[in-house]
């Protein structure tokens, strides 16, 4: 696959994945096309050596793996990423009526950068649960696709301080405007129509920006899209495991709820990965040996140094876009990397012919975290945190380098071979 093909498919993946549910569905479809067989956690598993499988939990997290022999001696080469991104999530009794406008009440999911959500053409997607025509409970994914709402800015004439001291009250300032109507509207009726269900019982719906992902820059150096954090890593992991050797045990885990701390049934702080690993290797001593022989590459985006805000990075550790994957290091274990895993990753990069960069945060600033330390703690597997450098993390539109995802793919392909 060329870098162009790879990036064009990436843009399609981003467009088709407005929510973690849709991302998981896209991953599942791509895996099935590549010969991975679907497993269900509720079934008894009969795994065959040299075959490829995947399993989902809550329709929002996914584990794909290649199953081979000698797990306890050779371990599993694992990659982890997350399917969720910060967003605005509809409240249960969502409709707000004001001055003939109908708005939707929202919660802020994760650490969203709120300013960029204003003046965007917003749509809604997610999961609706209810009874189908046969009277059975069904969980359906919906996506309105067209822009159905907007959060207009307040004109500068009404807020002279807007460019200096603007703050956003998440309760009062951001409910998107969906329509103008003097009549009572039923949001349930809207969902019935969209989902085809007979009765709606609950929903998990998110707003998203309808602007399509795009190549940006005079020489197309950049990629701009929503949800690059962390669908970028999910996609790179997907493409790498699709080409995994069948002689080696490899695994990709894409978890939901990273942006809110990973503590959930489907999050990295839950039991999903542990449960799957146990089913691959049920006997206690073999399991312990397998974990000891395994490694996890936790892939989540990094902060590229922004030329307008250079002082926000340590001067020796400012990753640049299009200069390769970033190795994330933190003395206080906000990242799980240690010299053992870092050196293994550097060797992989060298063997794949890909440059790498180091990131350590300014010592007078706090440091983000990700699924790496959580997985290392939960499973006890040696782990490295890496990621691709981006601008505007947690904005509704983030920017990455055109060359970086393909380069990380080359490294992970090598790791999985």
Angle at 386 between CA 392 and CA 15, to 5 degrees: 50
Smallest gap from residue 229 Cβ to Zn ion (A): 4
Q: Which CA distances in Å does 99 have to 104, 153, 174, 180?
A: 14, 17, 16, 9
Q: Does 83 bind Zn ion (CB under 5 A)?
A: no
Residue owning tokens 């197309």? 220
Question: Nearer to Zn ion by C-beta: 143 or 256?
Answer: 256
Q: Looking at 229, 256, 385, 398, which residue binds Zn ion (CB under 5 A)?
A: 229
Q: Does 230 bind Zn ion (CB under 5 A)?
A: yes
Cα-only R_g, the chain:
22
Question: Nearer to Zn ion by C-beta: 300 or 398?
Answer: 300
Question: Nearer to Zn ion by C-beta: 140 or 257?
Answer: 257
Q: How far apart are CA 224 and CA 23, in angstroms?
A: 18
Question: Nearer to Zn ion by C-beta: 75 or 372?
Answer: 372
Q: What are phi and psi of 62, to 5 degrees?
A: -145, 140
Smallest gap from residue 300 Cβ to Zn ion (A): 4
Q: Where are the beta strands (DSSP E) in 185-282?
A: 199-209, 214-216, 222-225, 250-255
Given the rule CB under 5 A, which of 20-28, 206-214, 223-231, 312-320 is the region that contacts Zn ion?
A: 223-231
Tokens representing 264 are 């959930």
Question: Nearer to Zn ion by C-beta: 59 or 300?
Answer: 300
Question: Nearer to Zn ion by C-beta: 39 or 392?
Answer: 392
Count residues near Zn ion (CB under 5 A): 3
C-beta separation of 219 from 391 below 8 A: no
Q: What are phi and psi of 127, to 5 degrees?
A: -115, 135
Smallest gap from residue 371 Cβ to Zn ion (A): 8
C-beta separation of 412 from 297 below 8 A: yes
Tell which positions 294-333 bind Zn ion, by CB under 5 A: 300
Smallest gap from residue 175 Cβ to Zn ion (A): 26
User: What secondary structure does DSSP assign to 300-324, as a single string?
Assistant: --EEPPPTT-GGGS-TT----TTS-
Residue owning tokens 């870092």? 342
Question: Nearer to Zn ion by C-beta: 59 or 229?
Answer: 229
Q: Does 84 bind Zn ion (CB under 5 A)?
A: no
Given the rule CB under 5 A, which of 20-28, 165-173, 292-300, 408-416 is the region that contacts Zn ion?
A: 292-300
Given the rule CB under 5 A, which of 115-123, 145-153, 226-234, 356-364 is the region that contacts Zn ion?
A: 226-234
- List interacting residues with Zn ion (CB under 5 A): 229-230, 300
């Amino acid at each position: 696959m060329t870098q162009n093909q790879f990036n064009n498919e990436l843009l399609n993946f981003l467009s088709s994945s407005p929510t973690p549910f849709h991302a998981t569905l896209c991953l599942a479809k791509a895996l099935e096309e590549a010969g991975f067989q679907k497993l269900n956690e509720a079934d008894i598993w009969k795994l065959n050596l040299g075959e490829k499988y995947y399993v989902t939990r809550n329709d929002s997290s996914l584990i794909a793996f290649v199953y081979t022999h000698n797990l306890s001696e050779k371990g599993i080469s694992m990659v982890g990423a997350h399917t969720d991104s910060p967003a605005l999530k509809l409240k249960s009794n969502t409709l707000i009526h004001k001055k003939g406008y109908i708005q939707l009440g929202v919660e802020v999911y994760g650490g969203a950068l709120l300013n960029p959500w204003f003046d965007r053409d917003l749509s809604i997607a997610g999961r609706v649960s209810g009874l189908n025509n046969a009277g059975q409970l069904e969980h359906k994914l919906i996506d309105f696709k067209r822009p159905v709402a907007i959060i207009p800015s307040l004109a500068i004439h009404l807020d002279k301080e807007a460019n200096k001291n603007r703050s956003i009250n998440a309760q009062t300032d951001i409910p998107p405007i969906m329509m103008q109507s003097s009549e009572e509207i039923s949001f349930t009726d809207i969902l019935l129509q969209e989902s085809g269900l007979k009765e709606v019982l609950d929903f998990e719906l998110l707003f998203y920006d309808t602007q399509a992902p795009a190549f940006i820059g005079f020489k197309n150096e950049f990629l701009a899209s929503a949800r690059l954090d962390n669908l970028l890593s999910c996609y790179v992991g997907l493409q790498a495991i699709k080409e995994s050797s069948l002689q080696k045990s490899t695994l990709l885990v894409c978890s939901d709820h990273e942006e809110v701390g990973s503590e959930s049934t489907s999050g990295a702080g839950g039991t999903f990965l542990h449960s799957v690993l146990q089913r691959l290797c049920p006997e206690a001593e073999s399991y312990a040996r397998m974990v000891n022989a395994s490694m996890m590459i936790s892939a989540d985006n990094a902060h590229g140094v922004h030329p307008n805000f250079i002082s926000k990075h340590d001067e020796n550790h400012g990753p640049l876009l299009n200069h390769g994957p970033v190795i994330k290091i933190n003395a206080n274990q906000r990242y799980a990397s240690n010299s053992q895993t870092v050196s293994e990753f550097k060797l992989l990069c060298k063997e794949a012919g890909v440059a790498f960069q180091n990131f350590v945060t300014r010592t007078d600033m706090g440091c983000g975290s990700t699924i790496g330390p959580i997985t290392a703690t939960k499973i006890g597997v040696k782990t490295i945190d890496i990621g691709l450098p981006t601008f505007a993390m947690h904005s509704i539109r983030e920017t990455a380098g055109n060359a970086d995802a393909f380069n990380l793919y080359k490294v992970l392909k090598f790791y999985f071979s």
